[in-house]
Structure 1
Amino acid sequence: MNVLASSALLIMGLLTAVAAGAQSVSVEQSQIPNVAAELISTFAAARSPADLTKRFRLQLAAGRFIDAESTLDRLQAAYRSNEPRLVPAVTPWRIYTRSKAYEAAGLGRSEALSRAFSELYGALPDSQAADILPWYGEGLDRLRSEESKQKKACQGMALEQCPSAADFVAAHEALMAWTYLMPASVPLLEADGRHRYLIDDQVLIPTPDGAKIAAIVVRPRVTGTTKLTALLNFTIYARDDWSMSDAIMMAAHGYAGVVAYTRGKGRSPQPVTPYVHDGDDAATVIEWLAHRNWSDGRVGMFSGSYNGFTQWSAAKHHPPALKAIATNATNAPGIDTPMQGNVFQSFIYPWPFYTTDIKTLDDNTYDDRARWDTLEKKWYVSGRPYRDLDKIDGKPNPIFDTWLQHPAYDAYWQRLIPYGLEFASIDIPVFVETGYYDGGMVGALYYFQEHLKYRPAADDRMIIGPYHHIAMQTGVLAKVDGYVVDKASLIDLQDLRLEWFDHVFRGFPLPTLLSDRVNFEVMGANTWRHTSTLADMAASRVRLYLTGNREADRLLFGHAPASQAIPELAVDFTNRSDVDFQPPTSAPDTRNALVFETKPFKKSLEIDGLFKGRFEIIANKRDFDLSVNFYELKSDGRYLDLASYLGRVSFMQDRTRRQLLVPGQAHTLNFQSQTLTARMLAPGSRIVAVVGVPKVPHIQINYGTGRDVGTESMADAGTPLRIHWLVDSYLELGIRGTIEFAQDR
């Protein structure tokens, strides 16, 4: 069975469930067109995308298809101005709308859809069609859920009397539209793809040790003896619809687009083992591609998260044909997952099931949020060792258990990606994309800094903006975590990546936005800056000293060491009464932490780059875990994330070797944040730092005995942890401008 056909079956399976749900609507179907027609005028002045979306769906429900297509023109213009990533998403709706108009004019259903598809998709250039293709993956379960929610809101009343009738009609029309549009569009998309490209979706590539790697290869139809550069995504996320979209995107721009699955995924017969074989196997795929008769002998790699790891893992093996890598939100095993700063975090616990239970992806298990929340809480309340998570859950998790056996960044982790001097020999161009709201920033910065540390002349280019983890795949959000992003940051990241590949492989000019190594958007300033190093992001640095001085109920930062009260923190590891605590969405979690603030700023202040810390501390235990989170506290009470650090104190000097504290003695802790920021702080804002010790259900708990933390339990808690910060402890920030507080004279 080919990939496009298997994608169709996946969609049809989803639709069966959706259609079943759609039949349960309690309102009379005959009411909907009349009610929709009455409601259209309510949205006559619609300007926002949300209101325009309701308007065109009401017009569809009322059978006013020409009007609906006109509203779609307005919606597309609104997206182009406010959220350009969504512009291609309008086309499937436009095809549906026009096909319904053709049906109303007397064409049969199949002929109507085929004609609309040919006019609005088939006639497009390859690159524009490739932009639209991923938007055919509409979340049908989400549509069904939204329709059900709106139906409940109108329960027990006539539709015309329901205050939220427009919301129900819009949700119902969306569900009906996609039930109609798919799977009927699948054969049209498949035929269009075969017309535009040469598609081989049955590739199995042999490895030297007898394994087989499943791959998809999509090539543009070129003339004569033209040779192609291959762009490869080597991924554990075996979803054929995702993969086909990725491969077609690269082929649409003149490359051979390739997606290969890691060993054991897709049609590969071997067992799935994350990380272990990926460097060798990716190198094998790269050399196989370089020797195809259509190849020019060059291969680039692209994609992010786990797939960013596979690129660095391949580069560690130096396959001669690998000429460039383009990473985003890049995972670094042992650095950011399953542990950060040598502290294990439970968000990754379900991931081995997600990626290894079946040949594709086990969404049902991974998305069972109730199960994983319950597991974390059960473990937290029980006080059992962290290594007992799978026993509490009741299902073995051997991959996670193996990880727990390596709490140091030891040879187990070092063999997976370049380590130390191995970075010096990686001499290919590297593109790095990450974001201030990207959990993968930790890994992305690690690779970037290590590569330049050991190879100062490395041809690396990084772009950083207010982007989330999957911004490269789904586009830049107009609003993320409550922050409305600047217009300057609303760029097409995939286009930028392709422009960079064109620069590397075709000699095109380097994109202006990548004019230096570090290219970052300053949130709140609506501007891009370009520097040669992360350190150069800031013009100067300022130290904020930790003090015991208070203003009302707040601890205040000081300007310089002085004789003053000493900050102290006590953490009782036996207290689990907070198991159901939900941190406020508008403020940080301050449990088991000290909160330090500056006074309000008199004028704007730009904060840029990484922060550093130097703590002089005395603790009563041999170890503890430290978290430091920086925020901007705005004058209206809102908190905005800046940067953070999480780490085990005993590994702070050397992540490969544990060095325990001597209780009761003074120790110096030097550390640097694992994430960074660039933000223009508004007048009246304060800088807030939450300095604490993690004791929450979703992070491993370090009881401080000095033994392997995974084996410790509440029985090891003993007396509460007590930490004293001595007078010359400080946090250091990078800034542009000068600090002037509102109370200063």
Structure 2
Amino acid sequence: MKVLALPLLLAWSLVASGAHAGTPPSREPTMPDIAATLIARHVSASKPAELIVLYRLQLAAERYVDAETTLDRLTAAYRSSEPRLVPSVVPWQTYARAKAYEANGSEASAALRRAFSELYGSLSDTQAVDIGPWYKVDLDAMRAHVAEQEKACAGMRLEHCPSAADLIAARQGLATWTYLVPALKPLLEADTQRRFLIDDQILIPTPDGAKIAALLVRSRSAPSIKLTALLNFTIYANDGWSMDDAKKMAAHGYAGVVAYTRGKGRSPGAVVPYVHDGEDASTVIAWLARQPWSDGRVGMFSGSYNGFTQWAAAKHHPPALKAIATHATNAPGIDTPMQGNVFQSFIYYWPFYTTNTKGLDSDTMNDRAHWAALQRYWYVSGKPYRDLDKIDGKPNPIFDTWLQHPSYDAYWQRLIPYGREFADIGIPVFVETGYYDGGMVGALYYFEQHIKYRPTADDRMLIGPYHHIAMQTGVLPEIDGYVVDKAALLDLQDVRLKWFEHVFRGAPLPDLLSDRVNFEVMGANTWRHVSTLADMAASYRRLYLTGRHEADRLLFDDTPDKQSLPPELVVNFADRSDADFRPPGGMPDTRNALVFETPKLTKALEIDGLFHGQFEIVTNKRDFDLAVNFYALMPDGTYLDLASYLGRASYMEDRTRRHPLQPGQPITLAFQSQTVTARLLPAGSRIVAVVGVPKIPQVQINYGTGRDVSTESIADAGDPLRIRWLAGSYFELGMRGSLEF
């Protein structure tokens, strides 16, 4: 071959220089050729999205060393802008380095083993467990992305396509992972076995004959040390997610445990959400404390439904349970399936997701077009809310059972601590929630009830600009148009682990958790620390509802308005012409609502904590549902969420017992927001309250007859609902600084 190389090169040089009498045949540029030509346009990349395109072009052009250099730059960019994504770079570095070794003569499998060992295998357990989940990808989603990019270049030669770089980047991404997924599987499995002792076949018997499926992970580095167990008890049976959780805890020196709701995973029998979880979690805790490796102590962690299971277990006081760390915490009967005793339809299809299979029925859950069509049909038809499953054509007995309990009655009270039962829970509690977290409603409920009934409770709450799954997926750099402050870009799992270190190992409490309520002020880039939710605000200011208008908005005032006509809201429940209405992008939904607004602020103002409302109203119905949403209208015209409330008027006094209204008679409604905020508003902003009655496809409709709302239909609409706000109705907002217009 070496003998032939020189003549061939000479022949090509003659052709290239025109020395050959004929015209050389043209060569179609390959993807590596095109990628190489595009690299020059991207060498100045600095933002993560730009760097991603650059390193993939370099991979496609087979410039592997350059690609790894760019990946180092991407890591640095992520550290400053989106720390949660730093571990995601390692799999790409593994690929780039393996390909570089292969280009230098190494056999492919040996090259990958070497790169994997250098970049992953040599890491500590605590580092490796953060990277491990990033070796999992959705190849179908990547194929769909390639197809989308190919459409943009349809009918064009690749080198002539304006978005050729994006298409090459997408193709390279798919090619990389199509190679890595099968090739790395044995390497990852061997690395896990080297690091951890795993038992994923556990079945724990319960006193009533059920069996609870569980998996257990411990570090191999300390097999003889007695360990504290950290338990996640969940209905979300996914062994991949569970293994990641358990390995994370094991890497930090605990016994990592995940157990499933009875009937899930390897557990025989039917699945019933909520009903048995408290007792079953207590059984698992007792079992863990008896194991030879156990030091007799168990903590619980995780959030959403899995936060509920922690409070459910605490209700039963298992002696070995020493601490719970919750986030985005679900409180059945408080925030789902009903909030303020109002049922919301997003939870209708959740029972199918969690009970159709031993795992999770994601296909059914994610069929959003079907569920939107169901909600729309129900809304337009005007049929009773309890007929949702009949309309759907599929029984939903779990949801139907919930509908039979519109009061917060004994059915709900038995699931989690109720009333004075909170006083008997003496273990430390850590709560994480976010201003953009739908689970904040439940998180605040547990926190306030625990402090109310046990004033000395050792509770710590962390609140920031976080979404519902920020604990699992990391803090987003931007959410709903808000760019998150640098101070809030935390590793929330690390904060939780430091709290566990404090509780179980005597480490100092992190400064971030220096008081009971620790919250980040959005826009101020600062954390504050106070003893109660009420203390989040330095002062409170009343904003009275008036009948005075400015354009199509009503005005707030400092004093009761006794001069103008009282504001009145009219809602026609028989009108369904708005079934397909969508508010303009970024605008609040003001249908069936009154909008109250302050003048522009003349100087910056910090709005903090809960808001309170006291309405003096007269209505023509025996009941109605109230929705209040506060916004900041920024100087640039954008709306930012502040805090909200949703509740049924007849339950505002007592969520356990309904008190129908007396039509035509004045009544006082007092309520507190179910979420909090902490936001610095710049001068020129306005505070806006949208005060309305929910009449939309996604929420149960209260027609006001006083009967069970689930049995009411459009036939009960009757005269339109009228609500008149009397002088003296007000909101009370917490703030730091003075409200000046």
TM-score using structure 2 length: 0.95
Which residue number in structure 2 is paired with residue 570 of structure 1? 570
In structure 2, the residue corresponding to 1:611 is in which secondary structure? strand
- Name the counterpart of 1:376: 375
The CA deviation at 1:225 is 4.1
Q: Once the 2 structures are TM-superposed, how far is the Cα of residue 139 of structure 1 from its aligned partner?
A: 3.0
Write the deviation string for residues 195-254 of structure 1: whole angstroms up to 9, x where unpaired: 011111111111111111111100012447420000000011111111110000000100
Name the counterpart of 2:22. none
Correspondence for 2:217: 218
The Cα of 1:110 is off from its aligned counterpart by: 2.2
Equivalent position SS for 1:204: strand
Measured on the aligned residues, the alpha-carbon RMSD in Å equals: 1.1
What SS is found at the alignment partner of 1:546? strand
Q: Give the superposition deviation at 1:143.
A: 1.7
1:532-563 CA-to-partner distances (Å, cap 9, x unmatched) read 00000000000001111012222111110132
Match of 2:282 in 1: 283
Q: In 2, Cα distance between the equivalents of 1:361 and 1:107?
A: 42
User: Residues 550-580 of structure 1, C-alpha deviation per residue, up to 9 Å, x if partnerless?
Assistant: 1222211111013222100000001111111
* Residue of structure 2 equivalent to 1:82: 81
Give SS of 2:259's match.
strand
Q: Is the 8 A contact 1:301 1:326 kept in 2?
A: yes
Q: Deviation digits for residues 143-199 of structure 1, max 9, x if unmatched?
A: 222111111111111111111111111111111111111022222111111101111
Q: C-alpha separation between the residues in 2 aligned to 1:526 and 1:281?
A: 43
| SS of corresponding position for 2:374 | helix
Superposed displacement of residue 349, structure 1:
0.8
Aligned to 2:293: 294
Q: Take 2:445 and 2:93, find their aligned partners in 1: how far apart are those partners?
A: 44
User: Is 2:671 the counterpart of 1:654?
Assistant: no
Question: Are the aligned partners of 2:605 and 2:680 in contact in 1 as well (CA < 8 Å)?
Answer: yes
Match of 2:15 in 1: none
Q: Which amino acid counterpart does residue 661 of structure 2 have in structure 1?
A: L
- Looking at structure 2, the residues matched to 710 and 617 of structure 1 have their Cα atoms a distance apart, in angstroms, of 25
Change (3 A) 1:450 1:30: farther
**Greater CA drift, 208-217 or 431-440:** 208-217
Q: Which sits farther off after the overlay, 579-588 or 665-674?
A: 579-588
For the pair 1:737 / 2:725, whether they are aligned, the reply is no
Counterpart Cα distance in 1 of 2:613 and 2:698: 25
- Check whether the contact 2:544–2:561 (CA below 8 A) recurs between aligned residues: no
- The one-letter amino acid of 2:171's match is H
> In structure 1, how many angstroms separate the alpha carbons of the residues matched to 2:445 and 2:716?
34
Partner of 1:394: 393
Partner of 2:361: 362
Distance 1:527 1:212 in 2: 48
1:29–1:212 CA distance, 2 compared to 1 (3 A) = farther
CA displacement at 1:111 relative to structure 2: 2.1
> Does the 8 Å contact 2:439/2:468 carry over to 1?
yes
Partner amino acid for 1:328?
H
2:728 alignment partner, SS class: coil
Which residue pairs with 1:681 in the alignment? 681
Q: In 2 relative to 1, CA 665–60 (structure 1 residues): closer, same or farther, beyond 3 Å? A: same
1:95 maps onto 2:91 in alignment: no
- Contact 1:546–1:558 at 8 Å: present in 2 too? yes
Q: Which residue of 1 aligns with 2:641?
A: 641
- Measured after TM superposition, the shift of residue 412 of structure 1 is 0.4
Deviations 1:461-480 (A, max 9, x none): 00000000000011100001
Gap regions ≥5 residues in structure 2: 1-26
* Distance of 1:493 and 1:729 partners within structure 2: 40
Contact 1:338 / 1:345 at 8 angstroms: preserved in 2? yes
User: 1:135 Cα deviation (Å)?
Assistant: 1.4
The equivalent residue for 1:588 is: 588
- Whether 1:325 and 2:335 are equivalent positions in the alignment is no
SS at match of 2:187: helix
Distance 1:133 1:610 in 2: 40
What letter is aligned with 1:299? V
Conservation of the 8 A alpha-carbon contact between 1:622 and 1:662: yes
Relative to 1, partners in 2 of residues 1:30 and 1:284: Cα closer, same or farther, differing over 3 Å?
farther
Tell me, in whole angstroms, the C-alpha distance in 2 between the residues paired with 1:121 and 1:568.
Answer: 65
Q: What is the alpha-carbon distance in structure 2 between the residues aligned to residue 29 and residue 101 of structure 1?
A: 26
Equivalent residues in 2 for 1:301-316 (5 A)? 301-316=300-315
In the alignment, which residue of structure 2 is the partner of 1:20? none
SS of the residue corresponding to residue 236 of structure 2 reads coil
Q: Is the 8 A contact 1:595 1:690 kept in 2?
A: yes
2: CA distance, partners of 1:130 / 1:223? 17
Aligned-partner Cα distance in 2 for 1:184–1:29:
32
> Which residue does the alignment assign to 1:519?
518
Q: Deviations over 1:675-727 (max 9, x none)?
A: 01000001100000000000000000000000000000000000100000001
User: What is the alpha-carbon distance in structure 2 between the residues aligned to residue 183 and residue 212 of structure 1?
Assistant: 34
Please tell me whether residue 272 in structure 1 is matched to residue 271 in structure 2.
yes
> Do residues 254 (structure 1) and 276 (structure 2) align?
no
* Aligned twin of 1:602: 602
- Which amino acid letter does the alignment assign opposite residue 56 of structure 1? Y
**SS of 2:557 mapped into structure 1:** coil
Q: So what's the TM-score if we normalise by structure 1? A: 0.95
CA distance in 1, matches of 2:273, 2:222: 40
> Could you list the per-position Cα deviations for residues 644-698 of structure 1 after superposition, in whole angstroms to 9, with x for gaps in the alignment?
0000000011000000000001000000000010000011000000000000000
SS in 1 for 2:547: coil
Counterpart for residue 14 of structure 1 = none
* Structure 1 unmatched ranges of 5 or more: 1-27
Aligned: 1:508 with 2:517: no
Letter in 2 for 1:690: V
**1:44 equivalent in alignment to 2:17:** no
Q: Which residue of 2 aligns with 1:614?
A: 614
* Partner-residue secondary structure (3-state), 1:548: strand
Asked if the contact 2:515–2:529 (Cα under 8 Å) also holds between the matched residues in 1, the reply is: yes
Which position in structure 2 is the counterpart of 1:416?
415
Kept in 2, the 8 Å contact 1:304–1:331? The answer is yes
3-state secondary structure, aligned to 2:546: coil
Instruction: State the alpha-carbon separation in 1 of the partners of residues 273 and 172 from structure 2.
Output: 42
- Secondary structure at the residue paired with 1:670? strand
Partner of 1:703: 703
Show the counterpart of 1:337: 336
Structure 2: how far apart are the matches of 1:371 and 1:223? 51
Which SS does the other structure have where 1:566 is aligned?
A: coil
CA–CA separation in structure 1 for the residues paired with 2:327 and 2:255: 20
CA contact 2:545–2:561 (8 Å) conserved in 1 = no
Distance 1:209 1:143 in 2: 46
The answer for the alignment partner of 2:348 in structure 1 is 349
- SS of the residue aligned with 2:660? coil
The answer to whether the Cα contact below 8 Å between 1:237 and 1:361 also exists between their aligned partners in 2 is yes
Equivalent pair of 1:31/1:159 in contact (CA under 8 Å): no
Deviation at 1:103, TM superposition (A): 2.2
**How many Å separate the matches in 2 of 1:481 and 1:272?**
36
Greater Rg by CA? 2
Letter in 2 for 1:351: W
Percent of aligned pairs sharing the same letter: 73
Shift of 1:453: 0.4
- Corresponding residue for residue 186 of structure 1: 185
In structure 2, the residue matched to 1:231 is: 230
Structure 1 equivalent of residue 24 of structure 2: none
State the partner residue of 2:715.
715
Which residue of structure 2 aligns with residue 25 of structure 1? none
Paired position in structure 1 for 2:554: 555
Distance between the aligned counterparts of 2:666 and 2:28, measured in 1? 75
Q: Return the letter of the residue paired with 2:610.
A: L
